[in-house]
Amino acid sequence: MQNKYQHLIFDLDRTLWDFESNARIALNEIYNEYGLKERGVVDFDGFEKKYKEINEVCWDDYRNGKLKKEILRNLRFELTLKEYGISDRKTILDISELYLYKSPRLTKVIEGAHDILDYLSGSYQLHILTNGFVEVQGIKMDKSGLAPYFDQVVASEFAGAKKPHPQAFEFTLERINAKADNCLMIGDDPISDIKGAHNVGIDSVYFNPDNNSPSVYATYTIQKLMELKSIL
């Protein structure tokens, strides 16, 4: 098995970098700093839940080319705060900017991330393929200590298409000078990462810590990152 794969392509958010935990910390700090409780947002958990719902819709539109990232960044907060009767443009823009500053500088990673990367880095070339904003993904990797493990970091916006579009994967193969059959994609999204890889002939590992519905496109499925040892 070790001879088959030479390149391991990881997703970043929710696969290595703990997006949910770091986002929650950043949102909670903003909630307190801007006194949102006193402005009618009485429950942080409700605020976070509403933001996550709206953010996911916005990201779906971004992945599908319906929304530009510059619009997404502000719109998700505009729509969330609108639910609480807050429409002050300066507040919306300030909160959006502060979130983009705070969140990527937080350093919580998925359990086992550093240990498994230590284990793999001596035997494989490691790469990142992310749909995230290129400006913040580098900060996340630097601050959390993930950057030194990786040879290439590919942001799909440079590919001209986002995962799961084949162009994102084909661009990555060209960048890392590899063929599909000697690569393995590791990610948490059954569509963007797993089906996307399958469609271009790349084997995949579906990282499924919450035991969601299985992916018929996954070559392997794991619930903990350290389970990669049994595959690689």
pLDDT, one tens digit per residue, over 63-90 is 888 999 999 999 999 999 999 999 999 9
Residue 148 and residue 96 in one domain: no
Look up the CATH number of the domain holding residue 201: 3.40.50.1000
Total domains, the chain? 2
CB neighbour burial string for 57-70, b if at least 16 within 10 angstroms, e if fewer: ebbeebbeeebeee
Residue 12 and residue 87 in one domain: no
Residue 162 and residue 78 in one domain: no
* Residue 162 lies inside a defined structural domain of this protein: yes
Q: What integer is the mean pLDDT of 41-64?
A: 96
Q: What integer is the mean pLDDT of 186-207?
A: 98
Q: How far is CA 157 from CA 143, 167, 194, in A?
A: 22, 11, 19
| Contact (Cβ atoms closer than 8 angstroms) between residue 166 and residue 173 | no
pLDDT digits (tens, 9 = 90+) for 97-155: 999 999 999 999 999 999 999 999 999 999 999 999 888 999 999 999 999 999 999 99
Residue 3, burial from CB neighbour count under 10 angstroms (0-12, 13-18, 19+): exposed
pLDDT recorded at residue 98: 98
Residue 88 and residue 196 in one domain: no
pLDDT of 211 above 90:
yes
Token pair listed for 216: 């018929």
Q: Global pTM?
A: 0.94
Look up the CATH number of the domain holding residue 59: 1.10.150.240
Please identify which residue in the block is written with the tokens 């950043």. 26
Picking from 49, 83, 105, the residue at the C-terminal end of a domain is: 105
Residue 179 and residue 190 in one domain: yes
Residue 47 and residue 127 in one domain: no
pLDDT recorded at residue 133: 87
pLDDT of 3 above 90:
no
| Contact (Cβ atoms closer than 8 angstroms) between residue 164 and residue 190 | no
pLDDT of 1 above 50:
no
Residue 25 and residue 11 in one domain: no
Residue 173 and residue 224 in one domain: yes
- What's the CA gap between 70 and 165, in Å, rounded? 21
Residue 25 and residue 85 in one domain: yes
Picking from 105, 129, 153, the residue at the C-terminal end of a domain is: 105
| Contact (Cβ atoms closer than 8 angstroms) between residue 99 and residue 77 | yes
Number of CB atoms found within 10 A of residue 93's CB: 14
* Residue 73 lies inside a defined structural domain of this protein: yes
215: containing domain: 7-17+109-230
Q: List CB contacts of 218: < 8 A, sequence separation 6 or more.
A: 190, 194, 198, 204, 205, 206
Q: 49 pLDDT band (50/70/90 cuts)?
A: very high
* Residue 68 lies inside a defined structural domain of this protein: yes
Residue 91 and residue 153 in one domain: no
Token pair listed for 100: 């983009």
Residue 117 and residue 202 in one domain: yes
H helices within the chain, ranges in order?
19-33, 44-63, 69-82, 89-102, 113-121, 134-143, 156-159, 166-176, 196-199
- What's the CA gap between 203 and 186, in Å, rounded? 9
SS3 for 24?
helix
Number of CB atoms found within 10 A of residue 180's CB: 15
Residue 65 and residue 96 in one domain: yes
* Residue 97 lies inside a defined structural domain of this protein: yes
134 or 175, which is more confident: 175
pLDDT recorded at residue 117: 99
Picking from 105, 128, 152, the residue at the C-terminal end of a domain is: 105
The full DSSP string for 44-76 is HHHHHHHHHHHHHHHHHHHHTTSS-HHHHHHHH
* Residue 1 lies inside a defined structural domain of this protein: no
The pLDDT mean for the chain works out to: 96
